[in-house]
Structure 1
Amino acid sequence: MKPAMKYFELNHSVSCMDKTVLESSPGEQSERRISSCYLRDSVITRMRSQEGTKEDVIKSLFGFRNVLWVLFALYFLRLLVVRTLHGLSPVCVEFLLTSIYDAPKIILIFGLIWASSYSFFFILYLEKRSIVSNTLANVLLRVALFLYLVLPCKWVLSSEYPIVPSFSVAAQATCFFLKIHSFVAIIEREYLRGTSLESLLDIKLFSYFLVAPTLVYRLKGYPRTKELRWKYFLGLVIQGCGLLFVMYLIMTEYMLPLFQNASNIHCVEFVVTLIVPTGVFYLLFFILIFEVMLNGFAELTRFGDRLFYEDWWNSVTHDEFLRKWNRPVYNYLMKVVYSYARKMGTKKWKAMMLTIMYSSVLHELVLAVTFRRLRIYLMSLMMTQTPLIWMMNILLRIQERRQIYRQISNIFFWNYIFLGPTLLMLIYSREQQVH
């Protein structure tokens, strides 16, 4: 009987609770339900309103990075399978062979460019030891700086290498030219201020500067990390290989077929077909250079200042893009080219225009060496940034209180960024076929 009594008492208590709930007024039930809820936003809304810490945002977006790599892998796995089923090689081997054409000699050229950098230090050392005069040293430095840029480009033009090796040598020569120009300019500036060459010349600092991912020479040295993180570096290598593979497939599957038939395709069809692959390639190239390669070199050299770019994708004006897109080049242009123009008494807007022209000439030189012909297409496109900077800054000052205008300016900026390279590819691919 005791178990039965307990069962009866339990049912009786439950029925009493149900009766209490049923006898409560509708208003009390509604109030009870509301008090158990919260006023909450979705994850994206909270991120947009800038609630929470940076760690919360990174934790919330943890899976997006992985899903992007998974989508890339699945999509390009489809390309590999389709090519194999149609009796083709999994990847375009012909373009791969041209890309690594005569690789040992290209690596040797890179080594010669790096080794010849010490000739500038040697000239200044001779001046320090009073073996050569200051005037003769200045002449030798300028002649050597001119040859330092011209000779590798002349070698590429005479050897008739394919596009990828030619671009690699021209870009490497230009990069080291900027480094040495920065070194010479800063040493001369401090020497004119009264600092002796004895305290300015440091072979260890100069050697580190040549391999560090920076273009501005610092007499006081650079911030250094405590140790080399091999796991992090290995991760960057794996990411770089993955990015190169994806970029190679985009190039061979979507871009090269259009380049090879550019003369038979209407220019409008060429642009609208190529603009999306070009945009994706552009973004992947940015990640490869500024997030993977520069961080890789920084990790190997334990270079501490790794602000290689800022949030350029939020740019609403072109001068903001120039400041944030490529910080090493921007720092070089401001501290070597722009500052020198201002020191010579040039007005601010003229100094800015000269700086952009200097940068556009070097970019045009790389393309001229790569495609074996001198044109001013890229230079003209880059020089259009000068009036665009002026116009967009005026519009931004007028409309800066409304967020919608910033969004419109950012959309205009992205269209300019994607359309410009696509038009250049159209022009150069058609000229390549004509010649």
Structure 2
Amino acid sequence: MIELDSEKRDIMQAQDSLRRRNNKRTDLTQNGTKIPEKKEKEPEFVHRESLLTILMEESLHIKAIYHIFVAILQIIQGKSIFHRLNVAIASVVYGFGDIKRAFKIWLFELSLALLFYPGLRIYAAIRKLITNNSRACQVWAAIGLLSLIAMEGILIGATCWDLAEKHLAVGSSVAVTCEMFRFAMKICAVTVDCIPRCHGNGTSLPSFQQYGYFLFAPTLLYRDSYPRTKKIRWGIVLFHFSEVAAVIFYNCFLWERFILPYWSDYGKKPQVEAGTVVRGMFACVLPGLISFLCGFYCLLHAWHNAFAEIMTFGDRRFYEDWWTKSRYSNYYRAWNLVVSSWLRDYIFRPIAPYAGRPVAYVVVFFVSSVAHEIILALSFGFFYPVLFLQFGVMGVLLLPLTASAGRRFPSIFNLLMWLSFFIGTGMLWSLYPMEYFARKNCPPSKMDSFFVPKSWSCPEIILKPNWTFENPFDLEHY
């Protein structure tokens, strides 16, 4: 208990020091001018807990909201068990089906990631032997670059080919494709950090132990060392993994209670009324947003904190208070700091000085949108770029639209941002199931393709005959 208290005290002291530094930056004199001071570079990784962990410890209000979600899960679960005992279990088993094949694909990805380390050592050793021959160094650098591209290509290409050749269950496919991109980004991070060392900047290459730790640490930025906690709190690990399992079941309940009743028969009849489709979309708005919030909590809080505890990784800052933002630029940065920091360091910053910040922003959004779309396409078994249009097109357009107005009217634009979350998640939870069940229920056609949406042609969406609108101001009607 004494060790835990001292560790918690160290974390709080580090957070307080960071807050004091941030406050010093904006200190003003009495005449309103900024006090000139020497800039002190803040440490990138420090001991600190995740924001929700701090909020739930310090605020009973946040803790109550957490309890509300748990209570909703228990009520849904109780209602479901009352009807049939195997509710949601079938969806979990189906969603994570063929786990053996998924594990083989993951082992292939891990093997390539581990193989990168001896390749890096070989490159550095040969580069040291030919360091006095500039022509040979140029040729060897080109060979090293081509080898890196080939390894990344095999890692991504072979995984995508395998999943496209034979469809894997949705949950298993999401897991292996996310791991594919995670390993690819970690290899890129190590390469950027270690190439100057290979070219003789006086710093030694990381040991295999350091590289292996980085492969499983919850960060995509490589450093030789990170802040480490003193011991593993296995109770915390078990608690967070139980939260991950609960969220998986939570989403399966939402799927069975809100998606299947509206969309499981989609495509069995040649025609469907537009009103039925609209009602189904509105019915999916609330469960879609709940799934969105649960997905955030599951991956960026529970899962990352569980692995951070196992790896004794001290910096638990995986996200910021994105729910309070009024500008989309701030939201995108705060939503997922693990990925956004990688995109910032390895895509945005190298491109911005040469092509400009707007072009760099577009490239970042394009790369991120394509990665998300690959995950969804391989998981569902079809290409339907709804998320790409929402994230890669609308997301880019909303950046300048909310840049100044969101700063001037934060409350209004925070409300509008949440409204867009409701609409966007409702569309995702409607359009993807419509396409999924249209491909299952509609009869085969010569026009069927991985890239052509089936739901556009089957079933036919028609307006109800004699469609009329009621006048809400007609008092005689009442």
Normalised TM-score (structure 1): 0.78
CA drift at 1:58: 2.2
* 2:102 alignment partner, one of 82, 93, 106: 106
Which residue of the partner structure matches residue 49 of structure 1? none
1:70 to 2:77 alignment: no
Which residue of the partner structure matches residue 401 of structure 2? 391
For 2:344, what is the secondary structure of its paired residue? helix
Tell me, yes or no, if the aligned pair for 1:342 and 1:351 is still in contact at 8 Å: yes
* Post-superposition CA distance 1:17-58 (Å, at most 9, x none): xxxxxxxxxxxxxxxxxxxxxxxxxxxxxxxxxxxx979952
CA drift at 1:373: 2.7
1:188 to 2:192 alignment: no
Tell me, yes or no, if the aligned pair for 2:190 and 2:222 is still in contact at 8 Å: yes
Which residue of the partner structure matches residue 148 of structure 2? 141
For 1:55 and 1:115, locate their aligned partners in 2 and report how far apart those are by CA, in whole Å: 39
1:234 to 2:238 alignment: yes
1:292 maps to amino acid = A
CA drift at 1:114: 1.4
For 1:106 and 1:222, locate their aligned partners in 2 and report how far apart those are by CA, in whole Å: 31
2:105 maps to amino acid = I
Which residue of the partner structure matches residue 204 of structure 1? 209
1:174 to 2:188 alignment: no
Tell me, yes or no, if the aligned pair for 1:123 and 1:140 is still in contact at 8 Å: no
Which residue of the partner structure matches residue 470 of structure 2? none
Cα 1:346–1:273 change in 2 (3 A) is: same
- Structure 1 residue runs of 5 or longer lacking an equivalent are 1-52
Cα 1:342–1:72 change in 2 (3 A) is: same
1:112 maps to amino acid = F
For 2:320, what is the secondary structure of its paired residue? coil
Which residue of the partner structure matches residue 290 of structure 2? 280
Number of matched pairs: 368
1:363 to 2:372 alignment: yes
CA drift at 1:65: 3.7
Identity of matched residues, %: 21
For 1:56 and 1:182, locate their aligned partners in 2 and report how far apart those are by CA, in whole Å: 34
Which residue of the partner structure matches residue 96 of structure 1? 92
Tell me, yes or no, if the aligned pair for 1:153 and 1:169 is still in contact at 8 Å: no
* 2:348 alignment partner, one of 338, 347, 353: 338
Tell me, yes or no, if the aligned pair for 1:290 and 1:309 is still in contact at 8 Å: yes
CA drift at 1:158: 1.4
For 1:185, what is the secondary structure of its paired residue? helix
* Post-superposition CA distance 1:271-296 (Å, at most 9, x none): 11001011111111111111110000
1:128 to 2:155 alignment: no
Which residue of the partner structure matches residue 265 of structure 2? 261
CA drift at 1:409: 0.6
For 1:257 and 1:365, locate their aligned partners in 2 and report how far apart those are by CA, in whole Å: 28
For 1:342, what is the secondary structure of its paired residue? helix
2:59 maps to amino acid = I
* 1:407 alignment partner, one of 394, 411, 432: 411
Which residue of the partner structure matches residue 421 of structure 2? 417
For 1:375 and 1:327, locate their aligned partners in 2 and report how far apart those are by CA, in whole Å: 27
Tell me, yes or no, if the aligned pair for 1:338 and 1:355 is still in contact at 8 Å: yes
For 1:422 and 1:380, locate their aligned partners in 2 and report how far apart those are by CA, in whole Å: 15
Which residue of the partner structure matches residue 34 of structure 1? none
CA drift at 1:115: 2.1
CA drift at 1:128: 1.5
For 2:220 and 2:57, locate their aligned partners in 1 and report how far apart those are by CA, in whole Å: 35
Which residue of the partner structure matches residue 47 of structure 1? none
CA drift at 1:230: 1.4
1:299 to 2:300 alignment: no
* Post-superposition CA distance 1:343-375 (Å, at most 9, x none): 4x1211111111111111111111121222334
* Post-superposition CA distance 1:355-409 (Å, at most 9, x none): 1111111111111212223343322211211121101113235xx2xxxx32221
* 2:256 alignment partner, one of 252, 258, 269: 252
For 1:55 and 1:292, locate their aligned partners in 2 and report how far apart those are by CA, in whole Å: 13
For 1:357, what is the secondary structure of its paired residue? helix
For 1:133, what is the secondary structure of its paired residue? helix
CA drift at 1:254: 1.5
For 2:182 and 2:262, locate their aligned partners in 1 and report how far apart those are by CA, in whole Å: 30
For 2:70 and 2:435, locate their aligned partners in 1 and report how far apart those are by CA, in whole Å: 36
1:103 maps to amino acid = I
- Structure 2 residue runs of 5 or longer lacking an equivalent are 1-53, 128-138, 440-478
For 2:311 and 2:431, locate their aligned partners in 1 and report how far apart those are by CA, in whole Å: 40
1:353 to 2:362 alignment: yes
Tell me, yes or no, if the aligned pair for 1:317 and 1:392 is still in contact at 8 Å: yes
Higher mean C-alpha deviation, range 285-294 or range 252-261: 252-261
2:154 maps to amino acid = L
For 1:149 and 1:370, locate their aligned partners in 2 and report how far apart those are by CA, in whole Å: 15
* 1:428 alignment partner, one of 417, 425, 432: 432
Which of structures 1 and 2 has the bigger CA Rg?
Answer: 1
Cα 1:208–1:253 change in 2 (3 A) is: same
For 1:373, what is the secondary structure of its paired residue? coil
For 2:315, what is the secondary structure of its paired residue? coil
CA drift at 1:63: 5.0
For 1:189 and 1:350, locate their aligned partners in 2 and report how far apart those are by CA, in whole Å: 27
Higher mean C-alpha deviation, range 58-67 or range 356-365: 58-67
Normalised TM-score (structure 2): 0.71
How large is the Cα RMSD of the aligned pairs?
A: 2.4
Task: Identify the structure with the greater helix proportion.
Answer: 1
Which residue of the partner structure matches residue 169 of structure 2? 162
Cα 1:64–1:427 change in 2 (3 A) is: closer
Which residue of the partner structure matches residue 290 of structure 1? 300
1:379 to 2:384 alignment: no
Tell me, yes or no, if the aligned pair for 1:167 and 1:367 is still in contact at 8 Å: yes
For 1:412 and 1:64, locate their aligned partners in 2 and report how far apart those are by CA, in whole Å: 22
Tell me, yes or no, if the aligned pair for 1:262 and 1:426 is still in contact at 8 Å: no
1:195 maps to amino acid = N
1:348 maps to amino acid = R
2:368 maps to amino acid = S
